[in-house]
Structure 1
Amino acid sequence: MYLNLIQLAASFGVSEKVVEDWMRREGLPHLPDRGRLLFDRAQVANWAASRGLAAQAGFLAPEVPAFATGFALEPLIRTGGIWREIAAADVPEVLARIVTSLPGATAPVRALLAQRLRTPGGVTLAPVGGGFALPHPSTRVALGRASGAVALLLLRDAMPLADPAPDTVPVTRLIFFIAPSPRAHLDLLGRLSRTLLRGPLREAIARGASDEELFAAVAAADAAMGVAGKGVTS
């Protein structure tokens, strides 16, 4: 059975842009066919299983929700923090500052990560629509179970993009994340993409909520997924 791009994105609960990033950066199997992309169901299932990634709906949905034993975002975003009125030009330096305070990582590792984030191509920026994007390290890292962070950056001006946003809305809201392992990286990417497509966090950001209201919205999203209070696992 073959799925098209829209069906596959819906199955994982992510944007089509995220699926295209998986194709380019994660080796997601696909087949060009007369100007469109097709995905073999069995190949995709094997690819996802090898990365600890599971679908949420549609053709690839498991019988048990994938995040029934997942991780909570609230502790991660409290670690990374909420950064307001950030100039787009200052984003690389802010990301470097975030990783220099990562828990569970040694000082040399934090310094190396900060250096990587400051270099050209060190950050992948994945637009998800509605003015949101998910920047994350281009190189996967293995930090260990105790590490990882999520940070919300609210920008003063639009972030320049190499490719246009999927809905042409200027990107002014970033959720940066760094995961403890490559498997957790994919989990975080899918989870955050779903969280920004709809739900309390997106609504709270749109209405200019306070930091504590935003933390509460993240906790509500965790509770809706049945993962409140659980940390990231590798």
Structure 2
Amino acid sequence: MQLTVRDVARLFVVSEKTVYRWIDQQSLPGYRVNNQYRFNRAELLEWAMAHRINVSTELFREPDSANAPLINLGRALQSGGIYYRIEGNDKPSSLRSVVKIMHLPPEIDREFLLNVLLAREEIASTGIGDGIAIPHVRNPIVLQVPEPTVSLCFLEKPIDFKAMDGKPVYCLFTIISPTVRAHLHLLSRLSFSLRDAELKKAIETQAMREEIFSHIARVEDELGNQKTTSLVRQEN
């Protein structure tokens, strides 16, 4: 679904004037169609994460038209795995190590996947700040995998990722998805989760897997409660 300036203003809880200012000054990702701006939900989430801007929980909702069940972030991370001391001296070598260790079907061309990730980094860094990056492509990575996965890799040493805040990156989340809808769902869940102080602390300290999974489960429960409360208010 392509969003309008009015939609973006509502989701970010700002005025339309502010949205236009962001377009002019902060490169808010948008496209001109018949002299009107249109926006992609996934790109807005990526931009908001990089600029540390809170957004309405509506941005995290899945389209009502799609009825297929979506897995949560915790399950996707369980499938993708958490890895420590990943080697790499720079962005290409680190991403190569990440792709090498990821859980992927044998028919997936890992070299192709690596090249896609590197090409995306040439367009703009996926470093969102605070030492975290989410390698992916502008059009989500859609591969023939049985279900979406998220891999969390802690690098052996921080590297320059050209992140917006200038800080070196030590933590990479990589999303692999069979559909664009599933990619958007996991990206939004990850965006929401990384706003949680306790989870961020666990990531900063490279906590044990069980602790990270516990924090993610708690945060997703909170997100579910927010949606339930919102629906109750709408019904009333």
User: Are the counterparts in 2 of residues 77 and 150 from structure 1 also a CA contact under 8 Å?
Assistant: yes
Q: Which residue of 2 aligns with 1:152?
A: 152
> Residues 10 and 129 (structure 1 numbering): CA distance in 2 closer, same or farther, change over 3 Å?
farther
> Residues 200 and 155 (structure 1 numbering): CA distance in 2 closer, same or farther, change over 3 Å?
same
Identity of aligned residues (%): 24
The SS at the match of 2:192 is helix
Match of 1:191 among 148, 172, 189: 189
Q: Which residue of 1 aligns with 2:199?
A: 201
Q: Which residue of 1 aligns with 2:80?
A: 80
The SS at the match of 1:225 is helix
Deviation at 1:143, TM superposition (A): 4.0
Q: Which has the higher helix share?
A: 2
- Which whole-Å CA distance do the structure 1 matches of 2:180 and 2:60 have between them? 21
1:117 equivalenced with 2:113 (yes/no): yes
Q: Which residue of 1 aligns with 2:61?
A: 66
- Which whole-Å CA distance do the structure 2 matches of 1:183 and 1:65 have between them? 11
Deviation at 1:138, TM superposition (A): 6.2
Which residues of 2 match residues 116-135 of structure 1 at below 5 A? 116-119=112-115, 121-122=118-119, 124=121, 125-135=125-135
Q: Which residue of 1 aligns with 2:98?
A: 95
The SS at the match of 1:158 is strand
User: Are the counterparts in 1 of residues 127 and 163 from structure 2 also a CA contact under 8 Å?
Assistant: yes
Q: What is the one-letter code of the residue matched to 2:219?
A: A
Query: How many residue pairs were aligned?
Result: 188
Gaps of 5+ in 1: 32-38, 50-54, 228-234
User: Are the counterparts in 2 of residues 132 and 196 from structure 1 also a CA contact under 8 Å?
Assistant: no
Q: What is the one-letter code of the residue matched to 2:185?
A: D
Deviation at 1:22, TM superposition (A): 8.2
Match of 2:167 among 166, 169, 172: 169
> Residues 224 and 140 (structure 1 numbering): CA distance in 2 closer, same or farther, change over 3 Å?
same
- Which whole-Å CA distance do the structure 1 matches of 2:137 and 2:157 have between them? 22
Gaps of 5+ in 2: 14-21, 43-47, 49-53, 226-236
Deviation at 1:94, TM superposition (A): 3.2
1:9-64 Cα deviation digits (max 9, x unpaired): 946xxxx9xxx8983xxxx3269xxxxxxx84xx33xx449xxxxx9845xx74x9
Q: What is the one-letter code of the residue matched to 2:136?
A: H
- Which whole-Å CA distance do the structure 1 matches of 2:27 and 2:146 have between them? 27
Q: What is the one-letter code of the residue matched to 1:66?
A: R
> Residues 182 and 98 (structure 1 numbering): CA distance in 2 closer, same or farther, change over 3 Å?
farther
Greater mean alpha carbon deviation, residues 85-94 or residues 64-73: 64-73
Match of 2:31 among 29, 32, 35: 29
> Residues 137 and 178 (structure 1 numbering): CA distance in 2 closer, same or farther, change over 3 Å?
farther
Q: Which residue of 2 aligns with 1:35?
A: none
User: Are the counterparts in 1 of residues 72 and 186 from structure 2 also a CA contact under 8 Å?
Assistant: no
Structural RMSD (CA): 4.0
1:124-159 Cα deviation digits (max 9, x unpaired): 451111111101256645446832211111112222
> Residues 180 and 93 (structure 1 numbering): CA distance in 2 closer, same or farther, change over 3 Å?
same
Deviation at 1:65, TM superposition (A): 6.3
> Residues 156 and 83 (structure 1 numbering): CA distance in 2 closer, same or farther, change over 3 Å?
same
Match of 1:221 among 214, 219, 222: 219
The SS at the match of 1:91 is helix
